[in-house]
Amino acid sequence: MIAQGLKVGIVGGSIAGCTVAIELSRVGCDVTLFERTGDELKDRGAGIGVPTAVFDTLVRRDLVDSDTPYFAGRGFTRLWRTPQEARYGYLAWDQPADLALLNWGVLYRNLRKRVPDRIYRAEHRVVGLRVIAHDSVGIELADGTVRAFDLVVCADGYSSLGRRLLFPDVGIEYAGYVLWRGILNEADMDETAPLQSGVHSPGYPGGHGIFYFVPGPNGSVAPGTRVVNWGMYVPVAQTSLAKFFTDKEGRVHEGSLPPAGMPFATESELKRKAAERLPDYYREIVERSRNTFAYAIYDCHVPAYRKGRICLAGDAGSFARPHTAAGALKSINDAIALGEAIKQQGSLDEALSVWDAARTETNNKLVTYGNQLGRALVKEIPDWSTMDAAAMRQWFSSIVEIPMTMRDQIREEPR
């Protein structure tokens, strides 16, 4: 029982940090989590799509409530604007799917409420880590105090302090394009029927869009109360990134522009591009959306998930492009696997070695998979209007070398 009383410090209290706290507490560790922000409502982005089987597993593991609202997506529809099909687009492929489409914020709040307030230390910024001995690591807080732990898990996101300390040579690599996103209340749409089927993806030269319903802000999935979550991949040269991420006040942001931060001129130019590329039905959704936001797409491979008694989890480790639809789920899987390894192995060192090898391999494969999807679906996207379902199926099965489903990514055992 190596977990009993093991003192674990966690840096970061979002998806990965909360799930590590839940899973390690449940196997008997003595957990403390430090989060630099207050305990306000966090909301990153809008929608997340997970296979329904994965959602059911999260419920069985008691990570989310069984009545968590989601919109059931039964298909993944790929389209392309043509002169003849200017309104809805040419239907290239209706891929069957079984997806639970939910809000990022709802997922986060499900996890957060399972972490007791006594161990979630909000407004505690970590400024450094110190190796005190081979089995002891100090977490240094902004107020100068240092707290010693047997194990430290850095779940501090894509610009992780932990990753920079462990692997100073590892950089993040810009993919050459950004994801521009928005949401629109269903009540502001003229026509909702086309999106009832699930996820719609209109392709265009240089990228594609993603459109799907998620529950409305109050969690309702009743028709008329939902929200359309959309995104468009748009190429932006590396040299233009600083200009692109300059907000209304003239401040330059590092890799993202928050909702309400985008200058009118930037949003107007993006909407002009959307009007040229999207079938009219999707163009109207984009045009009517306010306070759109954007973030740059990066790849990051890490050589390992652990050095001594310091581990990485979630986006603090490697991270993959959003085409993999794996960001939040990868974080949850890192945490579940760590809890399982600590429960099953005979010593902490064995547990960390087994966990490290498995997570490094799986997550770096996911990065490669996202890279391949990005090449096929953004940079070298073929004209789907020249392809039928059989040609699309053949093309899709040839674009990636690593077969990986999200189902393979998660442990299935019920708790």
Ligand X SMILES: Cc1cc2nc3c(=O)[nH]c(=O)nc-3n(C[C@H](O)[C@H](O)[C@H](O)COP(=O)(O)OP(=O)(O)OC[C@H]3O[C@@H](n4cnc5c(N)ncnc54)[C@H](O)[C@@H]3O)c2cc1C
Residues in touch with ligand X (CB under 6 A): 11-17, 34-37, 44-48, 104, 125-126, 155-158, 161, 256, 295, 314-316, 327-328, 331
- Per DSSP, the three-state class of 125 is coil
Q: Among residues 278 and 313, whose Cβ is nearest to ligand X?
A: 313
Least distance in Å: CB of 383 to ligand X? Answer: 28
Give the whole-angstrom CA distance, residue 392 versus residue 217: 36
Q: Among residues 105 and 263, whose Cβ is nearest to ligand X?
A: 105
Least distance in Å: CB of 44 to ligand X? Answer: 4
Task: Print burial letters for 352-380: b (CB count within 10 Å at least 16), e (below 16).
Answer: bebbbeebbebbbbbbbbbbbbbebbbee
Helix H segments across 92-153?
104-112
Q: Among residues 14 and 333, whose Cβ is nearest to ligand X?
A: 14
CA atoms within 13 A on the CB side of 263: 14
Q: Among residues 142 and 389, whose Cβ is nearest to ligand X?
A: 142
Q: Among residues 43 and 350, whose Cβ is nearest to ligand X?
A: 43
Least distance in Å: CB of 35 to ligand X? Answer: 5
Give the whole-angstrom CA distance, residue 383 versus residue 401: 21
Angle of the 15-26 helix axis to the 327-344 helix axis, nearest 10: 20
Per DSSP, 300 falls in state: B
Angle at 134 between CA 128 and CA 138, to 5 degrees: 25
Least distance in Å: CB of 270 to ligand X? Answer: 16
Give the whole-angstrom CA distance, residue 181 versus residue 274: 12
CB neighbourhood size of 54 (10 A): 21
Q: Contact 286/274 with Cβ under 8 angstroms?
A: yes
Helix H segments across 134-226?
161-166
Give the whole-angstrom CA distance, residue 8 versus residue 27: 12
Contacts (Cβ under 8 Å, ≥6 apart) of 26: 339, 415
Q: Among residues 92 and 285, whose Cβ is nearest to ligand X?
A: 285
User: If we measure between CA atoms, which residue out of 159, 229, 127 comes closest to residue 14?
Assistant: 159
State the sign of the Cα–Cα–Cα–Cα dihedral 376, 382, 386, 391: negative
Q: Among residues 304 and 392, whose Cβ is nearest to ligand X?
A: 304
Least distance in Å: CB of 6 to ligand X? Answer: 21
Least distance in Å: CB of 217 to ligand X? Answer: 15
State the sign of the Cα–Cα–Cα–Cα dihedral 378, 383, 384, 385: positive
Q: Among residues 267 and 315, whose Cβ is nearest to ligand X?
A: 315
Q: Among residues 77 and 160, whose Cβ is nearest to ligand X?
A: 160
Least distance in Å: CB of 77 to ligand X? Answer: 20
Counts for the chain of helices (H) and strands (E), in that order: 10, 18
Least distance in Å: CB of 100 to ligand X? Answer: 12
Least distance in Å: CB of 341 to ligand X? Answer: 18
